[in-house]
Amino acid sequence: MNYGAQMPTWPRLTTMLVSCLFAFCAAVPGAGAAEDDAFDQLMARLGQRLHGHVTFTERHITSVLDRPVEASGELFYDAPDRLEKRTLKPRPERLVLEHGMLTIERGHREHQVALADYPQVAPYIDSIRAVLAGDRLALEHAFRIEFSNSGSEWDLVLLPLNAQVATEFASIRIAGTGDIIRTVTTQLANGDRSIMTLGTPDP
């Protein structure tokens, strides 16, 4: 069933895509690697991942609510472009992006959105797909990249270059230790943010 073409909110879409993207990289270079070389190695490992599964917990912090909204569930990835976010708590929900279609399942209802109907989102989606293939140039076309590592700790910040996209969200920050992705934080332009904490990916 199709319940119209209402676009999901940016926190849902960006958190789903970016969390899946970085949850499934195999490892991050250790101490001693130059930052630019370390980032190239990270991109190469992203391109090698064909499948992935990881658990998550998530906190949405918004000015319209007195307390954060918390959720938990699982993330899945299958190359080249299938991403799934399966929320289990506080209530079941399933988001699937595949072949340019975003499917939202809540209860017995299914809502499908064709991303081609939203050209303002297309450059962002295309860049995410390119990154899943390990294409650094495509990522740099969509974001200003700030990457740093110190010992086993590393930090990656993505700042949108597209002015229209920047009116929706301000930054995406991914932090990790060694070969473990710890958190993905999506900061919206209005001050709201989503913080996702990831478990260890399945081998």
Order of strands across the sheet with 153-160? Answer: 109-114, 101-106, 93-98, 82-89, 69-78, 51-61, 193-198, 180-188, 169-177, 153-160, 143-150
pTM for this predicted structure: 0.78
Q: According to the per-residue pLDDT averaged within each range, which of 89-103, 112-126, 136-150 is highest?
A: 89-103
35-48 and 122-132 helices, crossing angle to 10° = 90
CATH number of 10-197: 2.50.20.10
115 or 22, which is more confident? 115
Domain ranges of the chain: 10-197
CA angle 163, 188, 193 (to 5 degrees): 165
Half-sphere exposure of 180 (CA within 13 A, CB side): 10
70: pLDDT confidence band, cut at 50, 70 and 90? very high
Instruction: Tell me the average pLDDT across 130-139.
Output: 70
CA angle 44, 45, 48 (to 5 degrees): 95
Q: What is the pLDDT of residues 84-110, one digit of tens each?
A: 889 999 999 998 888 878 898 988 899
CB 5 within 8 A of CB 121: no
